[in-house]
Amino acid sequence: MKKILVTGGAGFLGSHLCDRLIADGHDVLCVDNFFTGSKRNVAHLLSHANFELMRHDVTFPLYVEVDQIYNLACPASPVHYQHDPVQTTKTSVHGAINMLGLAKRVKARILQASTSEVYGDPELHPQPESYWGRVNPIGVRSCYDEGKRCAETLFFDYHRQHQMDIKVVRIFNTYGPRMHPNDGRVVSNFIVQALRNEDITIYGDGQQTRSFCYVDDLIEGFVRMMASEQGFTGPINLGNPGEFTMLELAEKVLKMVGSKSKLVFMPLPIDDPKQRQPDISLAGKNLNWSPTVALDDGLKETIAYFKEVLKE
């Protein structure tokens, strides 16, 4: 049994990770400032003897004693991370420095939740970890993309300079239950719109692609990466290589919900990547990991979740 810190633990991915770690018998300290996460996501864990919830902003120092750290704190939806872009950069950069400083002091293994956004709008398809990316350093997405890139830099510099035990995973679009209905990302938007029979908002012509990973697969990848042999740092891609256009996604959701919603076309957000698909051969080789949940099955679970949430 380990004492494990999860930053951003009351968010979408963080709360599923807390569930998994508690189920595996660990002691979990969940730290969150509730910017996009909520107590509700971890309410069912509050009475558990091995679970502790702390309101804290990772841009400030944190002094606790733990064996492992998963650093997930950071808004992930473009709508939310662009709301206060300076805070987004601070969260990625100051947050990484504080969590690395903490890990250094207590000699903890630390995993960073990085992102496929480090590849920007990629010219190489699918994207292997060796690709350096094509990121606009001064655009509206830069606070997130460059913040996450700088966090990766910090992780590798602490590793080289202080021999720290780091793990970096690059997450590709992941969806599932506990996404916030107002999260703003495409899967939750389309499902909520379809369930309410509201217009489905397609940005641009809907021909841009994304690859969608179900949350349970992603969490399994996290845990395997954390348990991987010392010295295997990554970065490693985690995602589902199944690639869909936003129009295909909208049509799937409409059909599965049985909705009367119509498609409406809205302007494409600035610097919106045109295509994205993970090359996951490294995760296959080093973690013996690959996703197992097909998009249709994951959407079914997610639709069932939102049906319940929207009833309230």
Partner from ligand UDP, ligand NAD, none binding residue 63, C-beta < 5-8 Å depending on class: ligand UDP
Footprint of ligand NAD on 90-109 (CB under 6 A): 91, 95
- The yes or no reply on residue 176 touching ligand NAD (CB under 6 A) is no
- The yes or no reply on residue 234 touching ligand NAD (CB under 6 A) is no
- Closer CB to ligand UDP, 17 or 66, in the complex: 66
- The yes or no reply on residue 261 touching ligand UDP (CB under 6 A) is no
**CA–CA dist 50, 38 (Å, integer):** 19
**CA–CA dist 175, 215 (Å, integer):** 6
**Strand pairing category for 213-214 and 174-175:** parallel
| Relative orientation angle of helices 215-226 and 12-23, to the nearest 10 degrees | 60
Could you please report the per-residue DSSP string of 174-187? EE-TT--TT--SHH
- The yes or no reply on residue 284 touching ligand UDP (CB under 6 A) is no
Alpha helices in 32-108 (DSSP H): 78-81, 85-106
Footprint of ligand UDP on 208-237 (CB under 6 A): 208, 210
Q: How many residues bind ligand NAD (CB under 6 A)?
A: 28
Partner from ligand UDP, ligand NAD, none binding residue 104, C-beta < 5-8 Å depending on class: ligand UDP
**CA–CA dist 99, 29 (Å, integer):** 13
**CA–CA dist 85, 143 (Å, integer):** 5
Residue 70 annotated among the catalytic residues of the structure: no
| Catalytic site residue from 70, 81, 119, 144 | 144
Taking the alpha carbons at both ends of the chain, their separation in whole angstroms is 37
Which tokens in the block code for residue 226? 């954390």
- Closer CB to ligand NAD, 7 or 259, in the complex: 7
**CA–CA dist 21, 92 (Å, integer):** 23
Interface segment toward ligand UDP; rule CB under 6 A; list 28-36, 56-64, 224-232, 277-285: 56-64
Q: Site residues (CB under 6 A) for ligand NAD?
A: 7-8, 10-14, 32-37, 57-59, 72-76, 91, 95, 113, 115, 171, 173-174
Q: Site residues (CB under 6 A) for ligand UDP?
A: 61-63, 77-78, 97-98, 101-102, 104-105, 173, 185-186, 189, 201-203, 208, 210, 246, 269, 272
